[in-house]
Amino acid sequence: MPRTPPSHKKPSSSVVPLTIAVAGLLVLIVGAAAAAAGYASRFDKIPVHTSKLSGQEWMEELLNGHDERFYNEMGMHKHVFQQLLKVLAKLGGLKDSKYISAVEQLGIFLHFARHASPNRELQDVSV
């Protein structure tokens, strides 16, 4: 008995719009889920400034540490830093404030000047 070829029927005209509608709905759901996840991530509070060292402790680490590291961070040798600190204190009125020492103030400025650091990076140093 000869085999009859399968029939190639066109999908009915109501199936195509339904398929397009389902695909559109799927895209809409995925897009909404991505937008919701992005919005929700703004509320996940993750600390930014997590250094264990305060600004003063960081300066003490630099001053007591290797000379080359100090030079790389500040752009000058330790003895020049100490002399500059004395001159600024005597002639420029640099002094400790209520929350930040003169050493730390000068260190933050020099670090900024040396590295052209953005404000956010300086916040890590001076916290």
Question: Domain extents for the chain?
Answer: 15-46, 55-126
Nearest CA to 124 out of 64, 44, 61, 47 is that of 47
Q: What is the pLDDT of residues 3-28, one digit of tens each?
A: 655 656 655 566 667 777 778 788 88
| DSSP type of residue 8 | -
Residue 48: its pLDDT value, please?
53
Q: What is the pLDDT of residues 32-71, one digit of tens each?
A: 887 777 766 666 666 655 567 777 888 888 888 888 888 8
Residue 127: its pLDDT value, please?
45
Q: What is the pLDDT of residues 58-116, one digit of tens each?
A: 888 888 888 888 888 888 999 999 999 999 999 989 898 888 899 998 988 888 888 77
Q: Tell me the residue ranges of DSSP E strands in 84-127.
A: none
d(CA 31, CA 7): 39
